[in-house]
Amino acid sequence: MDPFTPPLSLIQQQIVESPLDIRLFVRGTAGTGKTTTGVERMRYMLVQGIPADSILMLTPQRTLQEPYLDLLYSPERRAGGEVTSATIGGLAKRMCDLFWPIAAEAAGFKNPQLPPAFLTLETAQYYMAHLVRPLIEEKGYFQSLTINRNRLYSQIIDGLNKAAVVGFPYTEIAARLDSAWFGDPAQRRIYADVQECASLFRAYCLENNLLDFSLQLEMFTNFLWPQPQVRDYLSSQYQHLIYDNVEEDIPRAHDIVHEWMSDFQSALLIYDDEAGYRNFLGGDSVTGAALSEDCDQVISFNESFVSSESIIELSDGLVSAIRSTERQIPVSGNERAFEILTSRFYPEMLDQVVGRIMQLLEEGMPPSEIVVLAPYLSDALRFSITNRLEEKKIPWRTNRPSRSLRDETASQTLLTLSALAHPHWNVHPNKYDVAHAFMFALNTDLVRAQLLTDIVYRQKDLRLSTFEEIKPEMQERITYALGERYTTLRMWLMTYREDAPLPLDFYLRKLFGEVISQPEYGFHENMDAVRIAASLIESIKKFRNAMEPSTTNLTGLEDQSGFDLGREYLTMLADGVIAAQYLESWRSENKDAVLVAPAYTFLMMNRPAAIQFWIDPGSSGWVERLSQPLTHPYVLSREWDASPGRLWTDTDEVTKETESLARLVGGLLSRCRERIILAMSDLGESGFEGRGVLLRAFQHILQQTS
């Protein structure tokens, strides 16, 4: 149990020890002990002798399972079966795999007698790119749109996913978007292109037995769940349900649980009031709240175990100010709840943030109790903060799920070395990339790495000359220690070239274990680099597993001579396809460190912190959602009123933005133990003065207390 967590309250204890034939719906804001109660309920059931494999633990995304997995993986666990920890997507995949023959033909697959290939986000985008790229380059699709290719592919996939999670036919994506559009008529052509690409992708999947997330979910909900043998299997397998963060899950998950509820002997559903942060991914708090009607009892948690009275008061006042309610809540004692750091320029503000963190650490604050939050964590902001923390020798960790693996220095190094080891790929890294790979892998500075690269590397034929061929005076400048490490790496690469090439993930494991993780090399003690390497290898493994069964018969791929999965993976990353979210990035990180993350990422980690730094509260990024010209999180939802003539207007946008900001602020403050620190500069990151809604709400609070 968290050292900051007090003993269970009476109501928590009663829920934990409630009869094993009751269905409970527990609701309350973050920090009121709901998840702690869920974990202890699971512990209690296992102690009472409930078979572990009869318990199903559901969450909207896998990262929210961490508190439960800490219990399940702890040494105190008895030997025996295992609790099933799953998401509705994971459950759908298992059922599609297990009952494939039952529904494959009904779902429209061309070869139901052959096994399916399950796609990750990455491999789905790979196939989408394979299909859509010719339409863009040869037929002028999306011509009026300026957008990165990876975002274009991902938003088409998002439309398919929205159809699956909400429960409408994917053939209606464009019609729903078009019916709500109010603006430039050219946008209607874009929606038509989206529909054609989505339909083309779905037809390709059905022809080649490929199951992306949307098809897995549709197959489960439309064809498998109604089958008696599937229902009987699930009902006999699981008698007890623990379902946490119900408000963040998708409507089709709520539909399934609603129909399934009567089959469970016991159930504990946990709902976070004032949350609903995953609506852009299809989460629906309204359908989640409706599950309370299927439970025997609804219990509300009102006492926060995290936030102080001053923080709670500040939260109420800020949320009231953001929503501009008629009844403004007075706020007093704000000096205990928040402080403000001000500066003229943005870099000075970041200096102040790191300086204040240093003061907190010197006062005895654990690094793990400090988080630095921004609405979006750009590469520039991430580098600026983490570089300053490193200069002060402050331990830090960062998590940005949307960051592509290709943007990480460690993965760039591994992929550059992969190209050097596989000349038959005909991929020739430039000297800049090779120099940075040498700098990182050989653990040296950029000057020596560039000097070494200029002398030994020939881009045209991928030649790496020996260190002994370098003139003695240049060897001394480079240093013999670096030359020895380079020689070892070069000899390893040359030896590898002489043998039959391995699958890319096998090659990287071999390279990592035999060379670059050894003492004095760049990956030896760099835990962040090790984490990135593990995620990259997992990504490549999933790509290979999805591609290998089908590369011999996929339409459009069978005629490609020299097809190589490793080279295709490099092409995919170069095309901007992002990496899927890997649990390794959440589990293996140094927990005793300052966290630097986007605000919503911190919320979905579902953990509190004593001190929160909010970067640039005047930025409009705190309230404005990302532009998604090919999809729409609100129009493609059950909440949207799709009656004729109903348009999405600026008023709708402002209303949703305001409500999202209020929920964001309330969620952050309910996870704050002591104080928030606002870091502001007269000129923001973009060089302009910020006057966003969040800053105005704080100004209102200050006016009240002055």
The predicted-structure confidence for 640-684, as pLDDT tens digits, reads as follows: 987 788 999 999 999 999 999 999 999 999 999 999 999 998 876
pLDDT in the model for residue 560: 43
Euclidean distance between CA atoms 385 and 621, whole angstroms? 18
Q: Sign of torsion, CA 299 300 303 307?
A: positive
pLDDT of 327 above 60: no
pLDDT in the model for residue 583: 46
Question: What DSSP string describes 423-462?
Answer: GGG-----HHHHHHHHHHHTT--HHHHHHHHHHHEETTTT
The strand order across the sheet containing 266-272 reads: 84-86, 55-58, 240-243, 266-272, 23-28, 297-301
Mean pLDDT of the region 263-284: 91
What is the phi-psi region of residue 554: left when phi exceeds 0, alpha when psi lies from -120 to 50, beta otherwise?
beta
Closest alpha carbon to 352 in 363, 369, 339? 339
pLDDT in the model for residue 369: 96
Mean pLDDT of the region 392-403: 80
pLDDT of 121 above 70: yes
Element spanning 27, H or E: strand 23-28
The β-bridge partners of 211 are 118
Identify the residue with better confidence: 493 or 329.
493
CB 158 within 8 A of CB 125: no
Residues in the chain: 706
Residue 370's contacts (CB-CB under 8 Å, 6 or more residues apart) are 357, 360, 361, 594, 595, 609, 610, 611, 613
CATH number among 3.40.50.300, 3.30.1490.20, 3.40.50.720, 1.10.275.10, domain 310-402+589-705: 3.40.50.300
pLDDT in the model for residue 171: 97
**Domains 10-87+233-301 and 310-402+589-705 equal at CATH topology level:** yes
- Phi/psi of residue 344, nearest 5 degrees: -80, -50
pTM for the full predicted model: 0.86
Query: How many C-beta atoms lie closer than 10 Å to residue 27's C-beta?
Result: 21
Top CATH class of 10-87+233-301 equals: alpha beta
| Tens-place pLDDT, residues 590-615 | 578 999 999 998 998 888 999 999 99
Which residue shows structure tokens 């190589």? Answer: 564
Interior angle at CA 528, CA 467 and CA 5, nearest 5: 165
pLDDT of 176 above 70: yes
Euclidean distance between CA atoms 633 and 158, whole angstroms? 9
pLDDT of 580 above 60: no
How far CA 276 is from CA of 116, 403, 455, 662, in Å, comes to 34, 23, 56, 11
How far CA 328 is from CA of 71, 122, 322, 623, 669, in Å, comes to 43, 47, 10, 21, 18
What is the phi-psi region of residue 50: left when phi exceeds 0, alpha when psi lies from -120 to 50, beta otherwise?
beta
Euclidean distance between CA atoms 290 and 700, whole angstroms? 36
Which of the residue ranges 75-89, 167-181, 383-397 would you say has the lowest mean pLDDT?
75-89
Euclidean distance between CA atoms 448 and 483, whole angstroms? 10
Domain boundaries, the chain: 10-87+233-301, 102-214, 310-402+589-705, 405-575
pLDDT averaged over the chain?
88
CB 303 within 8 A of CB 31: no
pLDDT in the model for residue 685: 65
Percent of the chain with pLDDT over 90: 63
- Residue 261, SS3 per DSSP: helix
| Tens-place pLDDT, residues 188-223 | 999 999 999 999 999 999 999 999 999 999 999 999
